[in-house]
Amino acid sequence: MNLDWSDDELAFRQEVREFFAENLTDELRSAGTWMTSVYADHERSLAWQRILHKRGWVAPAWPVEHGGAGWSVAQRYIFARERAAAGAPPVSPMGIAMCGPAIIGHGNDWQKAHFLPRMLSGEHFWCQGYSEPGAGSDLAALQMRAEDDGDALVCTGQKIWNTHADVANWGFFLVRTSRLERLQQGITFLLVDMTTPGVTVRPIVSPAGEHIQNEIFFDQVRVPKANVVGAIDNGWTVAKYLLEFERGGSAYAPDLQVRLDQIEAAARTVAVGDGMLADDAAFVRRLALARIRLAAFETYEFRAMAGPALSGASASVMKVLGTELQQHVTELGLLVAGRYGMAYQPQAGMPGGQVSLPHAHGTFVGPRQAAVAPLRYLNERAGSIYAGSNEIQRNIIAKTLRL
Amino acid sequence: MDFSLSGEQQQLRDSVRGWLKSHHGFEHRRAISRSESGWDAATWTAFADDLGILSLADIAVPHDAVTVMVVMEELGEALITVPFLETVVTGAAVLRAAGGEAAQALSDGIIAGDVRLALAWAEPDTRYGWQPRTTRAVREGNGWRLDGLKSVVVGAPWATHLIVSALTDTGTSLFVVAPDAIGVSLMSYPTIDGRRAADVRFEGVVLSGDALLGEEGAALPVLERVGDISIAAMGAEAVGVMRRMLADTIEYTGQRKQFGQPIASFQVLQHRMVDMFMQIEMATSAVYLATLRLEAEPAERARAASVAKVTIGEACRFVGQNAVQLHGGMGMTDDAAVSHYFKRATVIEGEFGTTDHHVERFISVAG
Amino acid sequence: MDLLIDADDLAFVDEARIFFERDYPRDIIDKARAGIVLTRDDHVRAQQALQARGWLGVGWPAEHGGPGWTPVRRYLFEQELERAGALSIIPMAVIYIGPIVCAFGTPEQQAHWLPDILESRAMWAQGYSEPESGSDLASLAMTATRDGDDFILQGSKIWTSGAHWADWIFCLVRTEKTARKQDGISMICVDMRTPGVEVRPIITMDGSHELNQVRFDAVRVPATNLIGEEGRGWYYANVLLSAERVSYAHVGRKRADLAALAVLGEERLGANNGFRQRLARAGIMLDVVEISVLRVLTGDAEPAAVSGLKIACTQLAQEITALWVELAGRDRSALVDRSAAGWSAQAPAVPGFAVTRTASYLFERAQTIYGGSTEVQKTIVWRHLARGGALGRRA
């Protein structure tokens, strides 16, 4: 047992560092550093994806034969850590991290050949459509209909919480093709061209004023059966596979380490009485407790990625602890911001979508970190709600505790 | 010992609530906060003319803390944007401490609905300390010359008068400054709770002699007391904000069905809402304590205010976060009232001192 | 609305303070302070001292020998008692069954039991919980079957505090199987010397013997020992409870603890910020709890808030014991028999508080379990909220 990187892994780290140093422009670095949520600015994120694509590094977890980097979990972890440290924007997860693995795992040869290269290049930008107004935590209750009509499925219904659907040209959806005894049966995993007639996207504005989420309405939308991933009525299998991926697919700790460093650096610039906040006993203690939590959590992530599986629910454990730690880190950010955290200044950050609430433009007051802090705090509240709320995750974990 | 309200206080509460219910719904609030100026003239006028609650700023009579508490709780529940706290509570408390004709004239102006105040106290480097560091007023002829920068002055873009703390030769002093005076510049912006604030710069602002409020160099204890008065009132507002969040959450979880039943039938959610309720009850007690100790000697008053601020701050966070959580994705939208209440709760948590700040203050005054 | 204490009450506080200094057995206070395990006789003498002043039957009406205090005065009395380090009144007889007998007992029952309680000639135990009825108390199964002028009791009670000291026990028993399980419950008092009553000790994790299991095997009890009407036991057990729900607050004791922690903390840890902050937070919580208790006593709080307050009080009590253990550091590990004076010689290098407070830390885990566990209380509070209690308003 040891916690050290091997020589090969260290060499890999060096390679990654050099790549970032050479390719990351200030503008891209800013897009990564001043994100206000887990979603980066769309244009810059895509620009960075194209740079990664040239190097073959867009999809760390995909096998090489499909155009992925084919990295080990350790390499992926190192890459994530270096990405965070360098301030590079993350690649949107909907295609690369979610739909891609579904197609690789359950798609046919044509789907792999057609969609995967376009996903990597960014030509296809993806959104996800699982939840519906009446099917959130109870996802299997989804009702959007897809009726068989020769070589096509005709879709009618509504999806909600569709991240980046306003800029996506493709989406993957769960639709109901049959009413069977178990709700989980009769669901189909479907890829939809968002420009198909009958598809309407409506914005949802977040408390931080950002338009990242959407609702999607389907009115008699004809989708070729060739776009069904896996078998008709067997979409739940694909979705479950993907949900596991969504929950445990990426590590939280790399970004959190960097965020805590940023918070500590910011606290060094904030005066309290005759000293600095970074030396204030109460703050020092809070930061130390957060670092302690993170150290334990990161080790858990190492254990999970080193396999074999820790428990049937380790993905859920990671989702709960990871998002709650992420939320806590934004609380510390807000603490450092002090009264400047009351100001609404999205112009100081790089939000992941259009901002629709009134705000000043151009310049901003106070430290930039303070301007971004409340936006991160508000946006991160979603962490314990999306991808299966933390209450649902705890239910999943509870099932594994029974002997 | 008595925790009951007088008949008058109950009547006032009912009429304030009734008016807000019929005139200040969520859509009104949202439209106002999205407007260019964010200014809700109709509500302010009604406060002056129909409800008469701006008369709580009358400095000819002592501060009526319990009545203010009753009103603030209602204003919190309706999530008003107008600067009642800034003007009628904080501002009037400064005027009351200063006394004199100029202060009385401003007080009369508030009651008539013409004067709105904003207290410019914090600076980029003072965090939550009352003492200014760089804002300075020097005597010039019969008057003063003011220079400095104040940060996040809540309500400044709506204010007819700023009250500015500044260092003078003998200590900290307070001045009344017109926002449109030569040398005053406001960099205005919305706050995250949809209100308005500004960073205010003073460059060679010439003030007449009567701009000085109260005794020169004696403002620090005044500001400490004004802060405690403001904490008590803001705490009452927070209780209103939180009660509404809990009520909305109970209602939402009672209607929202998943797995074939209202999600409020799940015990884990029931107990979460109970935890929210208990925090609100503790916050209510803490607000009583701070309110009823405002006239105690300074250390005891400060202790009670810090107890209240810590209790309220933690309750605001817990109740706010969980109200959003139990609303699920809906709680994360601008369309849901709860997200707006949560943002106000978040601002309250950070105003007049964080939890850490007040735990330290409690230690220093409790001995 | 005000926090003023009126002149009579202020005078009473002085009177109580002098009483505890002058007329209360000093040796018992000293013994408690020294952490020596108290005997039954210690408690008897302590309560007799209170009764000598007419201050024992705190919640009882004056015609039955109580002092007839207002809730606020009673609260002030408890503050002074705890401030002085005097022993808390053992609640089973004086606080729990006494007021029930005053309200619902026959004149014969009152004459038979109440004087012995006030004079501390009889100690009582409470027989509510059963091995299979804890949180779900109303499911209790111990039966009382009518047999002529008697009832025959069969069953078992558990977690019975002080049953090994008790002369009497008041029990909730099932006299009838009814559709609503609460309706078939009656309350009956049993002389502990009756044949068929057997007490078995339960040793708690701090090593002490306070709890017991009490078994009843064909125990014959005269029907005249039944309280009130058959089938109304659940009502009697609950109706007077609201006044007693805040008796667990122990604000005075908590305040004394925090003061001692501050002094000792300074001594042992210097200006350790983490400890100071935690202590301050407990102090803040105590100020808030105190106002909440006073609100309940003066009728300001909603019923839901009263149940909620039990949770807050007991959690704070546990946090205070945790602060003591934090302060003890490594010294927490000493486990010592404290039945006799001079016990500290068994671990001479360990400060006495570390031994006694670690034992409290262990024992007081029970606070959030007994008297309706925290989880059960939350369910009670939820019922209020679901009926629209959240936006309830003060009158």
Let me know the angle formed at the C-alpha of A49 by A45 and A54, rounded to the nearest 5 degrees: 155
Q: Are residues B41 and B59 in the same domain?
A: yes
The predicted pLDDT at position C394 comes to 45
List chain C residues with CB under 8 Å of B66.
1
The predicted pLDDT at position C390 comes to 57
List chain A residues with CB under 8 Å of B335.
204-205
Q: Is residue A265 a part of any domain in this protein?
A: yes
What does the pLDDT average to over C93-104? 95
Separation CA B158–CA B118 (nearest Å) = 8
Rounded to a whole number, what is the distance in Å from the CA of B75 to chain C's nearest CA?
14
Give me the phi and psi of B140, to 5 degrees please.
-145, 110
Interface of C with B in 107-146 (CB under 8 A): none
What does the pLDDT average to over C147-163? 97
CATH number, domain of B177, equals 2.40.110.10
Contact partners for chain A, using 3 or more CB pairs closer than 8 A, are B, C
- The answer to whether the beta carbons of residues B80 and B40 sit under 8 Å apart is yes
Asked if B35 is an interface residue toward chain A (Cβ–Cβ < 8 A), one would say yes
Last residue of a domain, one of B153, B182, B217: B217
Q: Are residues A256 and A332 in the same domain?
A: yes
Task: Count structural domains, chain B.
Answer: 3
Neighbouring CB atoms inside 10 A of A362's CB total 5
Interface of B with C in 234-273 (CB under 8 A): 243-244, 246-247, 250, 254, 264, 267, 270-271, 273
Contacts 24+ apart (CB under 8 A), C316-321: C316/C254, C316/C282, C316/C285, C316/C286, C316/C289, C317/C250, C317/C254, C317/C364, C317/C367, C318/C364, C318/C365, C318/C367, C318/C368, C319/C282, C319/C285, C320/C254, C320/C257, C320/C258, C320/C261, C320/C282, C321/C357, C321/C360, C321/C361, C321/C364
List chain B residues with CB under 8 Å of A377.
346
Active-site choice (C119, C244, C319, C364): C244
Last residue of a domain, one of B217, B247, B277: B217
DSSP output for A275-307? EEGGG-HHHHHHHHHHHHHHHHHHHHHHHHHHS
Separation CA A97–CA A59 (nearest Å) = 8
Last residue of a domain, one of A64, A91, A118: A91
Q: Are residues A225 and A329 in the same domain?
A: no
Residue A385 predicted with pLDDT over 60: yes
Q: Are residues A20 and A65 in the same domain?
A: yes
- Domain made up of C245-391: CATH architecture: Up-down Bundle (1.20)
Asked if B186 is an interface residue toward chain A (Cβ–Cβ < 8 A), one would say no
Q: For an interface test with A, give the residue of C269, C277, C284 to mutate (most A CBs within 10 A).
A: C277
CATH number, domain of B97, equals 1.10.540.10
Candidates B230, B74, B26, B53; CA nearest to C393 is B74
- The answer to whether the beta carbons of residues C42 and C86 sit under 8 Å apart is no
Residue A282 lies in domain: 251-401
Contact A358 B321 (CB under 8 A): no
Residue B123 lies in domain: 118-217
What does the pLDDT average to over C319-329? 96
Q: Which token pair is A156?
A: 């009618």
Please name the residue of chain A whose CA is at the shortest distance from the CA of residue B339: A207
Residue C43 predicted with pLDDT over 70: yes
Residue A22 predicted with pLDDT over 60: yes
Contact B281 C277 (CB under 8 A): no
Q: Are residues B74 and B18 in the same domain?
A: yes
Q: Which token pair is A282?
A: 């109460």
Residue keyed to tokens 């980029």: B124
Separation CA C122–CA C106 (nearest Å) = 19
Give me the phi and psi of B21, to 5 degrees please.
-60, -40
User: Which portions of chain B are predicted below pLDDT 70?
Assistant: 367
Distances (CA, A) of A152 to A114, A191, A224, A268, C4: 18, 12, 4, 61, 79
Asked if A285 is an interface residue toward chain C (Cβ–Cβ < 8 A), one would say yes
Q: Are residues A290 and A391 in the same domain?
A: yes
Asked if B281 is an interface residue toward chain C (Cβ–Cβ < 8 A), one would say yes
Q: Are residues A149 and A262 in the same domain?
A: no
Q: Are residues B333 and B260 in the same domain?
A: yes
Asked if B310 is an interface residue toward chain C (Cβ–Cβ < 8 A), one would say yes
List, for residues C281-311, the tens digit of each pLDDT value.
999 999 999 999 999 888 887 777 888 899 9
Residue C156 predicted with pLDDT over 90: yes
ipTM of the complex: 0.93
Rounded to a whole number, what is the distance in Å from the CA of A287 to chain C's nearest CA?
12
Please name the residues in contact with C44: beta carbons below 8 A apart, sequence gap of 6 or more: C120, C123
As a whole number of angstroms, the longest Cα–Cα distance in chain C is 71
What does the pLDDT average to over A176-196? 96
What does the pLDDT average to over C137-146? 96
The predicted pLDDT at position C242 comes to 62
Asked if C288 is an interface residue toward chain B (Cβ–Cβ < 8 A), one would say yes
Q: How far is CA C224 from the centre of its chain?
A: 27
Size of interface A-C (CB pairs under 8 A): 7
Q: Which token pair is A336?
A: 């450092």
Local confidence band at A308 (pLDDT 50, 70, 90 cut-offs)? low
List chain A residues with CB under 8 Å of C273.
281-282, 285
Q: Are residues B105 and B153 in the same domain?
A: no
Helix axes A314-337, B337-350, angle to 10 degrees: 50
**Can you give the residue ranges of every domain in chain C?**
7-89, 124-232, 245-391
- The answer to whether the beta carbons of residues A314 and A393 sit under 8 Å apart is no
Q: Which token pair is A151?
A: 């070589």
Please name the residues in contact with B256: beta carbons below 8 A apart, sequence gap of 6 or more: B262, B263, B264, B328
Q: Are residues B248 and B359 in the same domain?
A: yes
Contact C291 B289 (CB under 8 A): yes
- The answer to whether the beta carbons of residues A372 and B194 sit under 8 Å apart is no
Q: Is residue B354 a part of any domain in this protein?
A: yes
Asked if B102 is an interface residue toward chain C (Cβ–Cβ < 8 A), one would say no
Asked if B123 is an interface residue toward chain A (Cβ–Cβ < 8 A), one would say no
List chain A residues with CB under 8 Å of B324.
381, 385
Q: Are residues B252 and B299 in the same domain?
A: yes
Contacts 24+ apart (CB under 8 A), C63-66: C64/C98, C64/C102, C64/C110, C64/C114, C65/C114, C65/C115, C65/C118, C66/C102
Candidates A151, A153, A160, A243; CA nearest to A201 is A160
Separation CA B186–CA B95 (nearest Å) = 23
| Mean pLDDT lowest among A235-249, A373-387, C360-374 | A235-249
- The answer to whether the beta carbons of residues C263 and B289 sit under 8 Å apart is no
Please name the residue of chain A whose CA is at the shortest distance from the CA of residue B340: A207
Q: Which token pair is B354?
A: 């964080």
As a whole number of angstroms, the longest Cα–Cα distance in chain A is 77
Distances (CA, A) of A12 to A22, A75, A86, A254, C160: 15, 7, 15, 16, 67
Residue C58 predicted with pLDDT over 80: yes
Buried/exposed code over A82-101 (b: 16+ C-beta within 10 A; e: otherwise)? bbbbbbbbbbbbbbbbbbbb
Q: Where are the beta strands (DSSP E) in A27-162?
A: 126-129, 145-149, 152-160
Which residues sit opposite A204 in a β-bridge? Answer: A213
Q: Are residues A397 and A255 in the same domain?
A: yes
Query: Do the strands B212-213 and B196-207 form a parallel or antiparallel pair, or are they unpaired?
Result: unpaired
Asked if A1 is an interface residue toward chain C (Cβ–Cβ < 8 A), one would say no
| Mean pLDDT lowest among A241-250, B130-139, C232-241 | A241-250
- The answer to whether the beta carbons of residues B138 and B145 sit under 8 Å apart is yes
Sign of the torsion angle spanned by Cα atoms B121, B125, B127, B130: negative
Nearest to C3 among B267, B292, B306 (CB): B292
List, for residues A27-36, the tens digit of each pLDDT value.
999 999 999 9
- The answer to whether the beta carbons of residues B193 and B340 sit under 8 Å apart is yes
Task: Indicate the Cα dihedral angle B86, B91, B93, B96, nearest 10°.
Answer: -160
Asked if B334 is an interface residue toward chain A (Cβ–Cβ < 8 A), one would say yes
Q: Is residue B209 a part of any domain in this protein?
A: yes
List, for residues A74-98, the tens digit of each pLDDT value.
899 999 999 999 999 999 999 999 9
Rounded to a whole number, what is the distance in Å from the CA of A290 to chain B's nearest CA?
15
Q: Are residues A283 and A214 in the same domain?
A: no
Contact A338 B354 (CB under 8 A): yes
DSSP output for B71-93? HHHHHHHHT--S-HIIIIIIIHH
CATH number, domain of A53, equals 1.10.540.10
What does the pLDDT average to over C108-124? 97
Interface of C with B in 33-92 (CB under 8 A): 72
Interface of C with A in 275-314 (CB under 8 A): 277
Q: Is A132 annotated as catalytic?
A: no
Candidates C375, C388, C385; CA nearest to C305 is C385
The predicted pLDDT at position B366 comes to 81
Rounded to a whole number, what is the distance in Å from the CA of A281 to chain C's nearest CA?
6
Helix axes B267-292, B65-78, angle to 10 degrees: 150
Distances (CA, A) of C218 to C156, C197, C198, C214: 11, 9, 11, 13
Which residues sit opposite A218 in a β-bridge? Answer: A157, A199
- The answer to whether the beta carbons of residues B207 and B193 sit under 8 Å apart is no
Asked if A281 is an interface residue toward chain C (Cβ–Cβ < 8 A), one would say yes
The predicted pLDDT at position A305 comes to 76
3-state SS assignment for residue C70: coil
Domain C124-232 sits in CATH at 2.40.110.10
Active-site choice (A246, A264, A298, A301): A246
Query: From the CA atom positions of chain C, what is the Rg in Å?
Result: 22
Give me the phi and psi of A121, to 5 degrees please.
-75, -20
Structure letter (DSSP) for residue C187: E
- The answer to whether the beta carbons of residues C250 and C274 sit under 8 Å apart is no
Contact C280 B247 (CB under 8 A): no
Amino acid, single-letter form, for residue C274? G
Q: Which token pair is B298?
A: 């300074």
Asked if B193 is an interface residue toward chain A (Cβ–Cβ < 8 A), one would say yes
Q: Which token pair is A261?
A: 């460093």
List, for residues C243-286, the tens digit of each pLDDT value.
566 778 999 999 999 999 999 999 999 888 899 999 999 999 99
Q: Is residue B246 a part of any domain in this protein?
A: yes
Contact B267 C292 (CB under 8 A): no
CATH number, domain of A383, equals 1.20.140.10
The predicted pLDDT at position C248 comes to 81
3-state SS assignment for residue A11: helix
- The answer to whether the beta carbons of residues A385 and B325 sit under 8 Å apart is yes
Rounded to a whole number, what is the distance in Å from the CA of B204 to chain C's nearest CA?
43
Per the rule left: phi > 0, alpha: psi between -120 and 50, beta: everything else, A165 is alpha
Q: Are residues B350 and B253 in the same domain?
A: yes
Neighbouring CB atoms inside 10 A of C180's CB total 8
CATH number, domain of A140, equals 2.40.110.10
Contact C287 B286 (CB under 8 A): yes
The predicted pLDDT at position A309 comes to 63
Q: Are residues A84 and A184 in the same domain?
A: no
Last residue of a domain, one of B115, B133, B158: B115
Contact C382 B285 (CB under 8 A): no
Query: From the CA atom positions of chain A, what is the Rg in Å?
Result: 22
Separation CA A270–CA A367 (nearest Å) = 9
Please name the residues in contact with B183: beta carbons below 8 A apart, sequence gap of 6 or more: B146, B202, B203, B204, B205, B206
Rounded to a whole number, what is the distance in Å from the CA of A286 to chain C's nearest CA?
10
Q: Which token pair is B90?
A: 């904080």
Residue keyed to tokens 């407007």: B35
Task: Count structural domains, chain A.
Answer: 3
List chain B residues with CB under 8 Å of C301.
281
